Structure formats: structure tokens, C-alpha cells
């Protein structure tokens, strides 16, 4: 029994690791909000915050990935919303609209609007967001976490020059997702 408790304790400590990251420098870069595998890159209508067409980059964070979430760009947090929902497997397409989620809208100095959505999964039942509306954030800054497997949906302007495609593995705060046009 002691061994089981020890293993659970070690896994939990390892799961909540919060490694330092080397945030890339450069104009107009957008970095990954989380560690994981890019599931989808698709252009679609975002009806809640952007209310326009955007490119959605979905990143699946499995239980072995770091689950600290990072801001993809510098700017001002203009809106935060929480939506209760289901807890389907986060890699499923329907999770984007049906699962429990917290959305953060960031507006850059140049007027670009980027939406980060933390999506809970089958195992992940708790989303934590440390930001407040009106707060200024830096690119790659830690802003929250999703516990035990999840997904990040990142909505970008359709003019963004993307640097990722489905199947790519990304590192939160370090991997460049795209460049604002």
C-alpha cells in the first residue's frame, strides 16, 4: 500500500511540474499555449468572442505533457469566460463546443485578437485560469493549467502565417505556432 501511495504522490508531483521555458524573441510571433500534439488546423467561424472567421489550432495535452498554459502573445486580456459542459475525450472533434472550458481573449498592441480556450477532457475535470480582465500579459507568460489531460484551442486571425500542421508536437511558450501578418 505504501508503494502505491508513493507512486501516486510521485506522479502527481511530476504532473504538476512547471519548467522554465525559453520564450522566442521576435516581432509578431505567436507561441504555443501548451505542450502537446497539434490535432487540427482549420479555418472556421468563432461565434462567441471573435464573431468572425479565424484559424483554430487545437492542441491535445495528454496526461504525460506539462499542463501549465502560457499566453501565445503579448497584449491586454479583454475578456474571460467560463462555459460549463461535458467531459468527453478532449481529442474528439465535438470537445471544442461541448466540453467544459475557459476562454481568454487577448488583444495585441497592433489590434490582433487571439482567443485561447482551455478545454477540459474525460480525465481533466478542473480548469484553472489566473488572469483577470484588463490585465496586460507577456508572450509565453504562465496563465493557468488544466489538470490531468486536456486540450487547448487557439483562434488566430485568418491572415496569420502558420508554422504548424496536424501531428506536430509543440512546447508551451517555446514553439512558434505562427506569425501575425
pLDDT at 15: 56
**Over the range 155-177, which residues count as b (16 or more CB within 10 Å of their CB) and which as e?**
bbbeebeeebeeebebbbbebbb
- Please provide the CATH number assigned to the domain covering 2-179: 2.70.70
What is the pTM assigned to this prediction? Answer: 0.88
Q: Active-site residue numbers?
A: 150
Q: Tens digit of pLDDT for each residue in 133-174?
A: 999 999 999 999 887 668 899 999 999 999 999 999 999 999
Q: What does the domain layout of the chain look like in residue ranges?
A: 2-179
* Mean of pLDDT over the chain: 88
59: its cell numbers: 492542441
Residue 80 burial by Cβ neighbours in a 10 Å radius (0-12, 13-18, 19+): middle
**Is residue 61 a contact partner of residue 69, using CB atoms and an 8 Å limit?**
no
User: What is the average per-residue pLDDT within 97-113?
Assistant: 93
Judged against a pLDDT cut of 80, whether residue 24 lies above it is answered with yes
Amino acid at each position: 500500500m505504501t508503494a502505491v501511495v508513493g507512486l501516486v504522490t510521485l506522479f502527481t508531483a511530476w504532473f504538476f511540474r512547471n519548467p522554465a521555458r525559453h520564450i522566442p524573441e521576435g516581432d509578431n510571433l505567436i507561441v504555443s499555449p501548451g505542450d502537446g500534439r497539434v490535432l487540427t488546423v482549420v479555418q472556421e467561424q468563432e461565434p462567441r468572442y471573435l464573431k468572425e472567421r479565424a484559424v483554430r489550432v487545437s492542441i491535445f495535452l495528454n496526461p504525460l505533457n506539462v499542463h501549465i498554459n502560457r499566453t501565445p502573445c503579448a497584449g491586454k486580456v479583454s475578456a474571460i469566460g467560463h462555459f460549463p459542459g461535458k467531459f468527453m475525450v478532449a481529442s474528439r472533434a465535438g470537445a471544442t463546443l461541448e466540453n467544459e472550458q475557459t476562454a481568454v481573449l487577448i488583444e495585441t498592441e497592433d489590434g490582433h485578437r487571439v482567443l485561447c480556450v482551455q478545454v477540459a477532457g474525460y480525465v481533466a475535470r478542473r480548469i484553472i485560469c489566473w488572469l483577470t480582465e484588463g490585465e496586460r500579459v507577456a508572450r509565453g507568460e504562465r496563465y493557468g493549467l488544466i489538470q490531468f489531460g486536456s486540450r487547448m484551442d487557439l483562434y488566430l486571425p485568418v491572415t496569420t502565417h502558420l508554422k504548424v500542421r496536424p501531428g506536430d508536437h509543440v512546447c508551451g511558450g517555446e514553439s512558434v505556432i505562427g506569425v501575425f501578418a
